[in-house]
Amino acid sequence: MIFAANFKTNHTRSSTKLYLDALSQKIAAKKSEDQVYIFPPATALDHYKGDFTLGAQNAYPTQNGAFTGEIGLDQLEEFDIKTILIGHSERRELMGESQEKVAEKFDFFKAQGFEIIYCIGEPLEVREQGDESVNIYLLEQFEGIDTAYEKLIIAYEPIWAIGTGRSATMEEIVSTHKALRKAVACPLLYGGSANPDNIKEIAAIENVDGVLVGSASLDAEKFASMILS
């Protein structure tokens, strides 16, 4: 299983260090095949030691340059970062990233050999139209994306379930991941209010290879309990 923690705009460098020190101790007994990814905010990127992979929530597709407020390869290379989230719904919705821009980022970081967790998801109005509409909407988010890239992980996050405390039903997760599996062979993560209470049920679903966790990952003890469940 893959357990990925997206801190979003939470934690500082000092609190991230304390978090990772605590998490490393708690997950020492995890299954050897389980993988843990941590995505802190850019200001908390640093050299940390532990049985986890550190990644960037976002970066601009450039080595460096005149891109105010962004970070590029120079900043990521300083901390040996080779993993990145691309396409998260909050970047698409709040930051206005188009599919064209998302695909541009994907191509750039693919060329740099990054491991990419690529996020897709649908809004509530699409979900209410039924499975067929959901599947069409999700597959459109693969436009310009090399789904055969060997370092690709896909995270399915129903937008209406992110940070709301409402997870998709097990039936919705089953049907959506089954449809995605027909389209791609890479690992598939579920995101959208995954937490210690529902992790066992979600992890048992066929075609779910892990979870991308938001608010439930902010506490090291809670996240560790999910990993060790």
All structural domains of the chain, each given as residue ranges with its CATH number in brackets, are 2-227 (3.20.20.70)
- In this predicted structure, the answer to whether residue 165 has a pLDDT above a threshold of 80 is no
- In this predicted structure, the answer to whether residue 160 has a pLDDT above a threshold of 90 is no
Distance CA 23, CA 54 (A): 13
Distance CA 165, CA 163 (A): 6
Is residue 67 a known part of a binding site? no
pLDDT confidence of 167, banded at 50, 70, 90?
Answer: low
pLDDT confidence of 192, banded at 50, 70, 90?
Answer: confident
**Mean pLDDT, residues 27-33 taken together:** 95
**Mean pLDDT, residues 213-218 taken together:** 96
Residue 219 in tokens: 């506490």
- Catalytic positions: 88, 157
40, 71 in Cβ contact below 8 A? no
Residue 26 in tokens: 């708690």
Helix (H) or strand (E) holding 17: helix 13-26
- How confident is the model over 102-125, as pLDDT tens digits? 999 999 999 999 999 999 999 989
Length of the chain, in residues: 229
**Mean pLDDT, residues 191-218 taken together:** 95
Is residue 182 a known part of a binding site? no
Is residue 110 a known part of a binding site? no
Closest CA to 157 of 143, 175, 173: 173
Residue 179 in tokens: 């449809």
- In this predicted structure, the answer to whether residue 223 has a pLDDT above a threshold of 70 is yes
Q: How many CB atoms lie within 10 A of CB 123?
A: 13
116, 151 in Cβ contact below 8 A? yes
Q: How far is CA 91 from the centre of its chain?
A: 12
Is residue 6 a known part of a binding site? yes
The percent of residues above 70 in pLDDT, for the chain, comes to 98
- In this predicted structure, the answer to whether residue 163 has a pLDDT above a threshold of 80 is no
Buried b (16+ CB within 10 A) or exposed e, 28-57: eebeeeebbbbbbbbebbeebeeebbbbbb
- Residue 91: C-alpha distances to residues 36, 70, 99, 179, 190 (Å): 23, 13, 11, 24, 18
- How confident is the model over 41-89, as pLDDT tens digits? 999 999 999 999 999 999 999 999 999 999 999 999 999 999 999 999 9
Distance CA 95, CA 195 (A): 26
Distance CA 40, CA 29 (A): 23
Is residue 7 a known part of a binding site? yes
**Mean pLDDT, residues 2-17 taken together:** 98
pLDDT confidence of 168, banded at 50, 70, 90?
Answer: confident
